[in-house]
Amino acid sequence: ARAASAGQVRPGPPKASALMACASDASPIAYYYCEVGVRERLALSRTSRPEERTEGSFLLQARFEPSVLRRLPLEERPGVRFAPEVAMFCFPHGVRLVNASVAAANAIPKVTSFVLTASDKSRMYGACIVWYEPLPDGVVQACVDEVMPECDGVERAAERALAGELHAPEAICLLSSAPIFEALNSCCRQLFRMRLSGGDPASTEYMLTEASLRPLLTTPLPDYGGRVDVPLGNVSIHVVIPPANELPHTMAGRDFLLLFECLDVSSVIVLWALLLAEQKVLLQARQTHVLTMAAESLCALLFPFSWQHVYIPILPASLLDILQAPVPFLIGIDEEVLGMAEQGGLVPDDVVQVDLDASSIVCDPDVARAIRLPQKQYHKLYKALAPFCRASGRQSQDTEGGAEGGDGGSVRGSSGGGGG
């Protein structure tokens, strides 16, 4: 599967570096720091063609492929290779350009998180902060010359006229071997502040140098039950690892509860049972961070088992064909990418669709009937989870449906065009 190839990158020749000083038997807080965007070159995505544009500017309609602009350390970590595929997880829809007014209306940077799964099933956990930057005029001019050579002079001149107006999203990203999302998100916010105080990223005085990032890239993760403070600029970021006996185990922090804030207790139990039965589960939400936290919480709830199948909490648009895979999966998809999938008919009928925003589960009626849980254990689990979950609109029916776990008001059957 294409998603499973993330992390398979040919290593370059080994080099000595201060960032490699971290002990080989201790993982650092972050293995890699990188910057992602399109400020060096606008490369069209495979879904964007000038001849298919509608009325208006092509540059404002097109999608562009992001790339890694800068990374530290430059050399590969021993046993942990850098995955350039991280770029498409920072921008799962591709990159869209905007004008100055839209950029100003979205001036507050957004933080999100994701998970990369390698072919050996090892995982890297990422966090990134995204904001808008003015796009260099030369990059815009080069793009017009490259992708619109057959357009008439008037059209090309109109696109070039936008050069000083266009903004593009850019991201700072951190990759770690541990799902310490709360700490990684805090680090991303602080790195953004440091970047602002450093001025122009093209400047030689750019603040995010190897020296300023060294504590983040060399400080070892604490042991279970431990804590370490990482100095970044003028603040210290607290990294806490829960005790090993606190199971089911998660390092998601308070965002672990996002799953329970989205779903009522019956839906959580049904979803848990569907994963134990190794179904194809597709999580849907408007916010990508919610998808990652919900997927991580579900994996923690499977303890003492672990999810061994395809696991992509945020599915980039370029990997939509993996929904056709004939294997169990736990995949998250946001509203925009879901629209692309549905438009292309890429969501099979046997996929369980979980809408976290609407607190609903849609699955094949036969699958729903097959998920039968013992009454006594169901009610015990229901009472344990109920205080943490959102209230159900049909609480009495949810409670009565314990034997099958699918009779609650939040679960619907669907097979093709029919309902259950």
Whether pTM > 0.75 for this model: the answer is yes
What's the pLDDT at 196?
85
- Residue ranges for the chain with pLDDT beneath 70: 1-25, 47-55, 149-152, 198-207, 247-253, 392-420
- The domain spans of the chain are 3-240, 254-419
Any idea what the Cα angle at residue 307 is, between residues 303 and 312, rounded to 5°? 130
d(CA 403, CA 378): 7
Bridge-based pairing of strands 411-415 and 360-363 is: parallel
What's the pLDDT at 157?
82
What's the pLDDT at 394?
46
Q: Which CATH superfamily is domain 254-419 in?
A: DENN domain, C-terminal lobe (3.40.50.11500)
What's the pLDDT at 205?
46
What's the pLDDT at 414?
54
d(CA 315, CA 103): 25
Closest CA to 299 of 309, 310, 307, 311: 307
Tell me the CATH class for 3-240.
alpha beta
Closest CA to 371 of 276, 297, 294: 276
What's the pLDDT at 162?
81
Q: For the chain, what is the radius of gyration of the CA atoms?
A: 23
What's the pLDDT at 395?
39
What's the pLDDT at 237?
95
As given in the structure block, the two tokens for residue 398 are: 């949810």
